[in-house]
Amino acid sequence: MHSIRKSKNMAKPIYLYNTLTRRKEEFRPLHAPAVGMYVCGPTVYGDPHLGHVRPAVTFDLLFRLLRYEGYKVRYVRNITDVGHLENDADSGEDKIAKKARLEQLEPMEVAQYYTNRYHEFMDRLGVLRPSIEPHASGHVIEQIAMTQAILDAGYAYVSNGSVYFDVQKYVSDGYNYGILSGRNLDEMQSGGRSDDFEGEKRFAADFALWKRAAPEHIMRWPSPWSEGFPGWHLECSAMSAKYLGERFDIHGGGMDLMFPHHECEIAQSTAALGHASANYWVHNNMVTIGGQKMGKSLGNFITLEQLFTGDHRLLSQAYAPMVIRFFILQAHYRSTLDFSDGALLAAEKGLERLSKAWGLLASGRIRAAAVSTIPSPAGLLAECEEALCDDLNSPVAIARLFDWVRHVNALHDGTLSATEEDLLTLRGAFDTVLGTLLGLSLSPAGDTADRDNGRLGGVIDMILEVRQQAKLAKDWATSDLIRDRLAALGIRVKDRKDGADWELD
Q: Kindly tell me which of 295 and 444 has the beta carbon lying closer to a copy of itself.
A: 444
Question: According to CB under 8 A, which residues from 420 to 449 bind a copy of itself?
Answer: 446
CA distance to 16, 280, 415, per residue, from 22 (Å): 10, 10, 49
* Amino acid identity for residue 112 in this structure: Q
- How many residues does this entry show for the chain? 505
| Contact between 116 and a copy of itself per CB under 8 A | yes
* Pairing of the two strands 15-18 and 23-26: antiparallel
Of 137-145, 156-164, 314-322, 369-377, the segment contacting a copy of itself by CB under 8 A is: 137-145
Rounded to an integer, what distance in angstroms lies between the CA atom of residue 7 and that of residue 73? 17
Helix/strand/coil percentages in the chain, nearest 5: 45, 15, 35
Out of 4, 5, 28, 30, point to the residue binding a copy of itself (CB under 8 A): 30
Q: Minimal CA–CA distance to 141: which of 247, 249, 223, 244?
A: 223
Torsion angle defined by CA atoms of residues 83, 133, 46 and 303, in that order, rounded to the nearest 10 degrees: 160
| Contact between 92 and a copy of itself per CB under 8 A | no
Q: Which residues, at least 6 apart from 275, have a Cβ–Cβ distance to it below 8 Å?
A: 246, 247, 269
CA 488 from centroid of its chain's CA atoms: 38
Secondary element (H or E) of residue 338: strand 337-339
| Contact between 106 and a copy of itself per CB under 8 A | yes
Out of 433, 482, 493, 500, point to the residue binding a copy of itself (CB under 8 A): 482
Q: Kindly tell me which of 247 and 334 has the beta carbon lying closer to a copy of itself.
A: 247
Of 127-135, 168-176, 324-332, 351-359, the segment contacting a copy of itself by CB under 8 A is: 127-135
Q: How far is the CB of 77 from a copy of itself (least distance, A)?
A: 10
Out of 20, 45, 96, 133, point to the residue binding a copy of itself (CB under 8 A): 133
Of 129-137, 175-183, 200-208, 408-416, the segment contacting a copy of itself by CB under 8 A is: 129-137
* Amino acid identity for residue 411 in this structure: L
Q: How far is the CB of 309 from a copy of itself (least distance, A)?
A: 15
CA distance to 39, 46, 85, 364, 432, per residue, from 14 (Å): 18, 35, 43, 34, 17
Of 89-97, 131-139, 168-176, 398-406, the segment contacting a copy of itself by CB under 8 A is: 131-139
* Pairing of the two strands 491-496 and 499-504: antiparallel
Out of 132, 179, 345, 369, point to the residue binding a copy of itself (CB under 8 A): 132
Q: Minimal CA–CA distance to 257: which of 238, 284, 235?
A: 284
Q: What are phi and psi of 309, to 5 degrees?
A: -110, -15
Out of 109, 186, 370, 477, point to the residue binding a copy of itself (CB under 8 A): 109
Q: Kindly tell me which of 130 and 260 has the beta carbon lying closer to a copy of itself.
A: 130
CA distance to 160, 299, 452, 479, 488, per residue, from 493 (Å): 76, 43, 16, 11, 11
Q: How far is the CB of 417 from a copy of itself (least distance, A)?
A: 31
Rounded to an integer, what distance in angstroms lies between the CA atom of residue 370 and that of residue 368? 7
Rounded to an integer, what distance in angstroms lies between the CA atom of residue 492 and that of residue 430? 26
Rounded to an integer, what distance in angstroms lies between the CA atom of residue 303 and that of residue 52? 9
Binding mask 233-262 for a copy of itself (x = CB under 8 A): ----------xxxx-x--------------
| Contact between 160 and a copy of itself per CB under 8 A | no
Out of 20, 85, 108, 369, point to the residue binding a copy of itself (CB under 8 A): 108
Binding mask 169-208 for a copy of itself (x = CB under 8 A): ----------------------------------------
| Contact between 320 and a copy of itself per CB under 8 A | no
Of 6-14, 100-108, 254-262, 294-302, the segment contacting a copy of itself by CB under 8 A is: 100-108
Q: How far is the CB of 50 from a copy of itself (least distance, A)?
A: 21
The strand ranges marked E within 198-307 are 207-212, 228-230, 248-254, 278-284, 287-289, 292-293
- Determine the size of the site formed for a copy of itself (CB under 8 A): 56
| Contact between 459 and a copy of itself per CB under 8 A | yes
Using the CB atoms, write b or e for 1-40: b if 16+ within 10 Å: eeeeebeeeebbebbbbbbbeeeeeebebeeeeebbbbbb
Binding mask 58-87 for a copy of itself (x = CB under 8 A): ----------------x-------------
Binding site for a copy of itself (CB under 8 A): 1, 30-31, 34-36, 74, 100-103, 106, 108-109, 112-113, 116, 119, 129-135, 137-141, 145, 221-222, 243-246, 248, 446, 450, 455-456, 458-460, 462-463, 466, 482, 485-486, 488-491, 504
